[in-house]
Amino acid sequence: MPEKLTSRAENYSEWYNQITEKAGLAEHSAVKGCMVIKPYGYAIWEKMQQALDAMFKATGHQNAYFPLFIPKSFFSKEASHVEGFAKECAVVTHYRLKTAKDGTIIVDDDAKLEEELIVRPTSETIIWNTYRSWIQSHRDLPILINQWANVVRWEMRTRLFLRTTEFLWQEGHTAHATREEAEAETKKMIDVYEDFAKNWLALPVIKGTKTASERFAGAVETYCIEAMMQDGKALQAGTSHFLGQNFAKAFDVKFANKNGDLDYVWATSWGVSTRLMGALIMAHSDDQGLILPPRLAPIQVVIVPIYKNNEEAKEITTAVEMIVAALQQKNIRVHFDNDDSKRPGWKFAEHELKGVPLRLAIGPRDLAKGVAEIVRRDTAEKQTIPLDTLPETLEKLLKEIQKNLLEKAADFQKKHTFEVDTYEEFKEKIEQGFVLAHWDGTPETEAKIKDETKATIRCIPLEVTGEKGTCIYSGKPSKQRVVFARAY
């Protein structure tokens, strides 16, 4: 039997690590802070990529690819950007190794770069430096480009998927003729991310803007979606930045507008990363292992044959092969687990650990009755299904599971979100989830609350009640409640 996991109640963080490694999603590599994304984990990430890529293309975006390396000087050009990004990064200083006299391999000092190269932590600078030659007139706008890439941000304390030195992501970088158009793009893309979170990850999110101190380095406004994990903590699941003309000014990107006047170009950028894998794991899974929303599951249905001898095995195999063909016709991703070195009970536990949405077991007695036994991963509910209605039933069940996971997560979020009006109550409730509270709008109060409670303002929600109030900390007037939480 696969070893039991540490339970969430016992040690949430250890539970997360164990699921991630034991379900075959990822592991730490020999390079400090960098992970290996294992085949099963990568298959889920591919499903996310495919879904997002289709949504980006449906909203008019094209993919392109820009260099991994960025000249050091580029980072100095946008003043606030360098503060936020260029500090903790991988610096390439040499371009050759050589064999030393003692036979070891050493860095060749004669091959020192004139200007150091930074491994991209994000690509605004290299992309806006490129856009300068692509944009002359309003006819060249908008530019709607996305890039799938790896990025590196040097991290001292890392966690698989959630915070790693190298991670995979997509970064959209668009250029527009007007402020309004760029703002509309920023909002459109945060809506795309919300749609993806809800309909693929089965993850309800709160959409809002970041406070000035939590904003992307170089942005005028940062939109975000925040999701709640099962320990009540928040995870930022996507951001979309309105960059104003900051990068256009830093890289001198001007265009002739319709009147023939030169103006700086307006910019947005937006991204999601392999962090979403962490969100997916923490949002739905239980003490038995991973629970995957069917739309992202590499295997949606696993079939485990039950038999006592070769003759029975043969009979079951023939029947299962017909079932597999029928399910594939409905585009259901099915896996026939016919590994005869493992017992059915072992397989059940393994597929539970891996979060396969539906398990189908079938033995000679089932076959004689023309039925199969189905178990739902999300509810552990068992049912006996006639073989002749199997494809339709499974298709329906997969949809139900997808829906149920979203509802369960929404319900959990609702139960762990509190409106509070005093700082005492705030300190109590912040242990349990999201807190909606009034804030006076100053970075000083925000910093003090963070210092005292480890809670940050996750976002100023876009959906507002219009209710005014007084700041729970300073007692000063507040225009609306904001979302506080501890965060990943």
In angstroms, give the least distance from the CB of 20 to a copy of itself.
14
Binding mask 338-377 for a copy of itself (x = CB under 8 A): ---x------------------------------------
In angstroms, give the least distance from the CB of 301 to a copy of itself.
18
Q: Which residue's CB is nearer to a copy of itself, number 71 or number 469?
A: 71
**Distance (Å, rounded) from C-alpha 31 to C-alpha 34?**
6
**Distance (Å, rounded) from C-alpha 277 to C-alpha 424?**
35
Number of residues that bind a copy of itself (CB under 8 A): 60
> Strand, coil or helix: what is 210?
coil
**Distance (Å, rounded) from C-alpha 472 to C-alpha 449?**
10
**Distance (Å, rounded) from C-alpha 403 to C-alpha 414?**
16
Touching a copy of itself, residues 21-40 (CB under 8 A): 29-31, 34-39
Helix axes 39-58, 179-199, angle to 10 degrees: 140
Binding mask 292-331 for a copy of itself (x = CB under 8 A): ----------------------------------------
In angstroms, give the least distance from the CB of 158 to a copy of itself.
12
In angstroms, give the least distance from the CB of 134 to a copy of itself.
9
Residue from 96, 330, 343, 454 touching a copy of itself (CB under 8 A): that is: 96
H or E stretch including 327?
helix 310-329
Touching a copy of itself, residues 189-208 (CB under 8 A): none
Q: 275 near 162, Cβ under 8 Å? A: yes
Binding mask 65-94 for a copy of itself (x = CB under 8 A): xxxxxxxxxxxx-----x---xxxxxxxxx
In angstroms, give the least distance from the CB of 481 to a copy of itself.
38
Query: For residue 479, what are its two tokens?
Result: 């225009």
Q: Which residue's CB is nearer to a copy of itself, number 151 or number 482?
A: 151
**Distance (Å, rounded) from C-alpha 75 to C-alpha 218?**
11
H or E stretch including 464?
none
Q: Which residue's CB is nearer to a copy of itself, number 37 or number 401?
A: 37
Provide the 8-state DSSP code for 440.
-
End-to-end CA distance of the chain: 32
In angstroms, give the least distance from the CB of 455 to a copy of itself.
29
The interface region with a copy of itself, picked from 2-10, 101-109, 190-198, 430-438 by CB under 8 A, is: 101-109
Touching a copy of itself, residues 137-176 (CB under 8 A): 139, 145, 149-150, 152, 154, 166, 168
| Sign of the four-CA dihedral 372, 377, 378, 379 | positive
Residue 272, exposed/middle/buried by CB under 10 A (0-12, 13-18, 19+)? Answer: buried
In angstroms, give the least distance from the CB of 111 to a copy of itself.
8
Q: Which residues contact 114 (CB under 8 A, 6 or more apart)?
A: none
In angstroms, give the least distance from the CB of 63 to a copy of itself.
5
In angstroms, give the least distance from the CB of 150 to a copy of itself.
6
Touching a copy of itself, residues 391-430 (CB under 8 A): none
Query: For residue 415, what are its two tokens?
Result: 């139960």
Asked if residue 62 binds a copy of itself (CB under 8 A), the reply is yes
Binding mask 117-136 for a copy of itself (x = CB under 8 A): xxx------x--xx------
Chain centroid to CA 377: 22
| Sign of the four-CA dihedral 120, 122, 127, 128 | negative
β pairing state of 301-305 and 334-336? parallel
H or E stretch including 106?
strand 105-107
The residue ranges that bind a copy of itself (CB under 8 A) are 29-31, 34-39, 42-43, 46, 62-76, 82, 86-98, 104-105, 107, 116-119, 126, 129-130, 139, 145, 149-150, 152, 154, 166, 168, 341
